[in-house]
Amino acid sequence: MNNFITQLPQLLTLKEKIMEEKEVEVFLYRLETIHEKLGGNKYFKLKYNLEEAKKQNKTTLLTFGGAYSNHIFATASAGKLFGFETIGIIRGEEHLPLNPILSHAKNEGMKLIYLNRTDFRTLKSEDKKAYWQEKLGNDVYFLPEGGANIWAVKGCTEMMQNCTLAPDFICLPCGTGGTLAGVSIGNPTSKIIGFPVLKGGDFINNDCNVFIEKYFDFFSLSKIKTNFELITNYHFGGYAKSNLELKGFMQSFYDKYQIKLDEVYTAKCIYGVYDLIAKDYFPKKTKIVIINTQRML
């Protein structure tokens, strides 16, 4: 995985009238460009998990997600690229024809198993590893929903390593807190702002702190002060929810920069940053980097 990145991420300067008026500099850190299948944060979340799976002599990656999960897409791709069998436990019933994400996963060789929502909620937790190993075999390596575990956090500490500037603020969308924790640990001199894409995303604050505590304990490292904050009012109704205002923002962004934004994650974060700039959240003369954590499918 160390030589896996096919293109270094681009740092694009965003130029808007509101930024000139408020005297801030804003950049888009384009992680989606590093690989056609594992762009965004997926490479970083999977990197050390794949290394750990090989160390444990595991041959199969088992993971969980909804029918539109980018993590399912990425795990299937990683399995094909690095020689693992893959199994995806999918929330809900099978619907044919398969959507593009599940179709891609199946084409990459992933075995899809569907669970009703109640069973999915019960059986996706890491304390059910023994259940799945008994059912599917001891060569199964367990990846939680969204890929968020201690190895994912370790990978995400490296997410900004190729960025050519040291920003005052780093902004990113978040769903579980794993990426947010890693970026916070890896960039202690910047303030990290997470934009939850789920309604009621305040729980991520606790989850992120738990990841950070576990990280330093697990790797026996001296704890450093991390500096992150959640801004929870840019979810647009909840996970995978949208409205005409967000869609219009995405279209205007594409018209100006020729970049298609992911509607579930990145578009909400960038919209939030623009709105906060207008509301004088950021001090003048500061540099803001927005991480594009999602590649468009």
Mean pLDDT of 142-146: 92
Provide the 8-state DSSP code for 78.
H
Cα–Cα distance measured from residue 247 to residue 273, given in angstroms and rounded to the nearest whole number: 16
Whether 211 has a pLDDT exceeding 80, the answer reads yes
Nearest to 169 by CA among 146, 139, 150, 194: 194
Of all helices (H) and strands (E), which one includes residue 288? strand 287-292
Tokens describing residue 41: 């944060």
Q: How many CA atoms lie within 13 A of 176 on its CB side?
A: 19
pLDDT at 37: 84
Question: Vertex 137, ends 136 and 141: CA angle to 5°?
Answer: 90
Edge-to-edge strand order for the sheet containing 60-65?
Answer: 111-115, 85-91, 60-65, 140-142
Provide the whole-model pTM: 0.93
pLDDT at 4: 62
For 61, phi and psi rounded to 5 degrees?
A: -95, 125
Instruction: Please state, in angstroms and as integers, the Cα–Cα distance from residue 236 to each residue in 88, 216, 265, following that order.
Output: 28, 34, 11
Tokens describing residue 87: 């199994």
What is the residue type of 52? E
Whether 90 has a pLDDT exceeding 90, the answer reads yes
Whether 296 has a pLDDT exceeding 80, the answer reads no
Whether 6 has a pLDDT exceeding 80, the answer reads no
- Give me the domains of the chain, ranges plus CATH numbers: 10-38+159-292 (3.40.50.1100), 42-147 (3.40.50.1100)
| 12 SS3 class | strand
Instruction: Please state, in angstroms and as integers, the Cα–Cα distance from residue 129 to each residue in 16, 55, 117, following that order.
Output: 49, 18, 18
pLDDT at 57: 96
User: What is the torsion angle, in degrees rounded to the nearest 10, for the CA atoms of residue 197, residue 199, residue 200 and residue 206?
Assistant: -20
For 220, phi and psi rounded to 5 degrees?
A: 50, 50
